[in-house]
Amino acid sequence: MTYQNYSLKQLQQIDAAHHLHPFTDHKDLRDAGTRIVTHAKGPFIYDSEGNEILDGMAGLWCVNIGYGRDELAEVAAEQMKELPYYNSFFKCTVPTAALLAQKIASLAPKHINQVFFGSSGSESNDTALRIVRHYWALEGKPEKNRIISRKNAYHGSTVAGTSLGGMEGMHGQLGGAVPNIVHVMMPYAFELALPGESDHDFGLRAAKSIEDAILEAGPDKVAAFIGEPVMGAGGVKIPPASYWPEVQRICRKYDVLLMLDEVITGYGRTGNWFAAETFGVEPDTITTAKALTSGYLPLSALLVGDRIASTFIEKGGEFYHGYTYSGHPVCCAVGLRNLEIIEQEGLVERVRDDTGPYFAQALRERISPHPLVGETRSVGLMAAIEIVADKATRARFEPAGSAAVIVRDYAIANGMMMRATGDSMILSPPLIWTRDTIDLACDRILKALDLALTDLKPAS
Ligand code: PMP
């Protein structure tokens, strides 16, 4: 690789001179310098200083089959030689896009049989917004166009993605959101449950905030509700079991479409191909990306249920929407091979029956008792560790978010890549993790927590 002719310092200087990073304080970054990740194998990433780091985040929630899978490189090279690009506009298609759409439909819930491709989760959420609003227009109800979302949701970084999402900081920099999107409370019992309120009752109360928003606008003005089955970037917030069935009931009652954003949860993370199954809901759209190619190439797919698709097909009229790279032949070839690998290696079943329960138990038995930990929670291979100053009252350290950053920095310094979101540490490892990898991760997390204890003084 040509970069090997450059020293670490040179690469950092070049990066600082020319590369603006996503979600970054650029002043801070220039002061601190960048970590240069040079290669990766299986569950480990390696940086230019020779550190081996266990990747607890699967890149950015995506490298589900792990790093260094030659099969994907080979299939990409073959497809690039045969047909590197052609579009899917103007009544054309490419074989790998057709076959991948069929494959995704075969894995999706029965009532979902159509797929619209993009290159990123954000793009596919833009598509979802457009499709849902166009659906109601085709049904003769163009005024039924309000979307209900949730505070602190993450649905991407495009203007529509930011507007659908509920992150205040992002809205503050937007200078005008897509109109007619409202945000209700998140199902986050750890912080929002009332004293003495059961998880079950809290889940119902959080769902009721959606019903209240529907009634406030009038059901004939509300197109859809959108939600991540488990809020990911917002801190792996796993809703109580009562939440999603109640959301489904409310959506059906008022004829409001249900849009699931499974950009993180799609393709096995929760122990089923889709979290719709894990949480027992039947969405009208499912946004997917990331694990569709295990992040090896950019590709997203919006899964569109029969209700919407049949209206599009029956009523006709051009839908003015699409991307140059919709159905990109190389990305789709890699997606197909990636899904085959997940199937052949039984990774979804392994998460459901073995590593998911083992992960939950390891977190509960080894991490939860630590003096800095207020709660651990997980579903499949997706977890959060709440950092608290006081286990009994769940009080946090001041200023908010600072303690988790300390733990995270110790974790990374000790070979464990994980993220801090507010005061939640989050994990979303590759699905190839074994029981041994989980044990190793827990050893390193405990070490980081112990080191953080030397800086932080919990109350009890
Ligand atoms: N939705 C969710 C739930 C996500 O987690 C993300 C990315 N983390 C996105 C949408 C946006 O995906 P992308 O970064 O590929 O645009």
Average pLDDT over residues 219-237: 98
pLDDT at 416 over 90: yes
DSSP 221: G
Nearest to 163 by CA among 184, 185, 179, 152: 179
Q: Which atom of ligand 1 is nearest to the CA of 60?
A: 8
Write out the residue range of the structural domain in which residue 133 sits: 84-344
Point out the least confidently predicted range of 8-22, 83-97, 268-282, 327-341.
Answer: 8-22
Single residue among 344, 359, 393 that ends a domain in this structure:
344
Using DSSP, state whether 367 is helix, strand or coil: helix
Task: Tell which of 293, 311, 344 closes a domain.
Answer: 344
Q: Are 383 and 431 in the same domain?
A: yes
Q: Do 200 and 272 reside in the same domain of the chain?
A: yes
Residue 415, judged by CB atoms within 10 A of its CB (0-12, 13-18, 19+), counts as middle
Work out how many domains the chain is built from and give that number.
2
Asked whether 452 and 410 are in contact (CB, 8 A), the reply is: yes
Distances (CA, A) of 188 to 77, 151, 162, 218, 379: 44, 11, 21, 26, 15
422 CB near ligand 1 (under 6 Å): no
CATH number at 231 reads 3.40.640.10
Q: Is residue 70 part of a domain?
A: no
> Helix 329-344 crosses helix 95-107 at what angle (to 10 degrees)?
40
- The C-alpha atoms of residue 159 and residue 162 are separated, in whole angstroms, by 5
Regarding the beta carbon of 264 and ligand 1, being less than 6 Å apart is answered yes
323 & 247 share domain: yes
Q: Answer whether residue 90 is part of any domain.
A: yes
Shared domain check, 170 and 207? yes
The dihedral of CA 200, 201, 202, 203: what is its sign?
Answer: positive
- Mean of pLDDT over the chain: 96
Quick check: 460 pLDDT over 80?
A: no
- Name the residue at shortest CA distance from atom 1 of ligand 1: 155
Q: What is the atom index within ligand 1 of the atom nearest the CA of 158?
A: 16
Residue range 412-433: average pLDDT?
97
pLDDT band at 339, cuts 50/70/90? very high
> Stretch 161-171: mean pLDDT, rounded?
97
CATH number of domain containing 428: 3.90.1150.10
The residue assigned the tokens 């949480």 is 279
Residue 352 near ligand 1, beta carbon < 6 Å: no
Q: What pLDDT score does 1 carry?
A: 61
pLDDT, mean of residues 202-207: 98
Statement: residue 49 has pLDDT above 90: no
